[in-house]
Amino acid sequence: MSLSTRDNEKIDAIIAILKQCKSVLFITGAGISADSGLPTYRGIGGLYNDKTTDEGIPIEDAISGRMMQTNPTLVWKHIHQIEAACRGAKFNRGHEVIAEMEKSFDRLWTLTQNIDGFHRDAGSKNLIDIHGDIHQLICTGCGRRSRVKDFSSLKIPPYCPDCSALIRPEVVLFGEMLPFQKCQLLAAELQTGFDIIFSVGTTSVFPYIAQPVIEAKYRRIPTVEINPGQTQVSSAVDIKIAAGAAESLDAIWKRY
């Protein structure tokens, strides 16, 4: 799908603002990974659309911190499904553009809800992956960490070779708290402030995802949303491009 004439006019306006900016915040969701072939619909990692799993329980229960403690086999079954949906996929032009832009501005940060690791793979350094990375595993006993890109050889559930304790991915499961250090980092960067904020491919249903955009509106900081659909922040942003993330970001960067 090509950008409309109106969208191209909006891109010109975005570029004019960007040329005056030294600091940029990108807030990204599952939509930015859609061009990589990953699903954007409901659930952790954007995998589940139905309210219940094959076991007939809510997905919020099946992939929860509580269930990881009581029935890790069930949780890992669904984690395997999430990883399988990501397997073989890689970052796309949207991720690349953000990584390239990071090198061209005094300060550029990316806050992502995605657990696919694509921003890091594309080269982003200033990254707050607030929900974690599914490929990063940690032992619940000794804290041993490992990075595994393909879960097909993992046992369900996997156990630590050093201490035999349960291994889990370093992601925020349903019912768990956001990681304290990442929240601190986000708060510090927001306190420092940004000259422009982009919301890309996210419905912004979580308060900590929508709030930076809402606060920017009241502080008269320019805001941009790139999303084909209407979201929680669509009515608040200054400029909305109702198109795909990769196409829109590539057009902005090529003409910058």
Claim to verify: residue 97 and residue 148 sit in the same structural domain: no
Whole-angstrom distance, CA of residue 120 vs CA of residue 99? 9
Peptide bond into 157 cis (omega under 30): yes
- The mean-pLDDT minimum among 14-23, 84-93, 167-176, 196-205 falls in 84-93
Are 212 and 100 contained in the same domain? yes
> How many residues are present in the chain?
256
Question: Could you report the per-residue pLDDT of 209-245, keeping only the tens digit for each?
Answer: 999 999 999 999 999 999 999 999 999 999 999 999 9
How many domains is the chain partitioned into structurally? 2
The predicted structure's pLDDT at residue 230: 94
Q: Are residues 13 and 72 in the same domain?
A: no
- Provide the percentage of residues in the chain whose pLDDT is more than 70: 95
Is 182 a member of any domain? yes
Answer with the one of 171, 196, 219 that is the final residue of a domain.
171
- The answer as to whether 15 is a domain residue is yes
Note down the domain range covering 13. Answer: 5-37+92-131+178-255
Same domain, 118 and 148: no
Q: What does the pLDDT average to over 42-66? A: 71
Residue 68: which CATH number?
3.30.1600.10
The angle formed by the CA atoms of residues 136, 139 and 145, to the nearest 5 degrees, is 45
Indicate whether 205 and 236 sit together in one domain.
Answer: yes
Asked if residue 46 is part of any domain, the answer here is no
Report the pLDDT value the prediction gives residue 182, as an integer from 0 to 100. Answer: 97
Any idea which residues carry the catalytic annotation?
131
The rounded distance, in Å, linking the Cα atoms of 225 and 233 is: 8
pLDDT band at 47 (very low <50, low <70, confident <90, very high): very low
Residues 193 and 83 in one domain: no
∠ CA 70-75-77, nearest 5°, is: 135
pTM: 0.93
H or E stretch including 207? helix 207-218
CB 241 within 8 A of CB 224: yes
Q: 246 with 146, same domain?
A: no
- What average pLDDT score do residues 113-118 get? 93
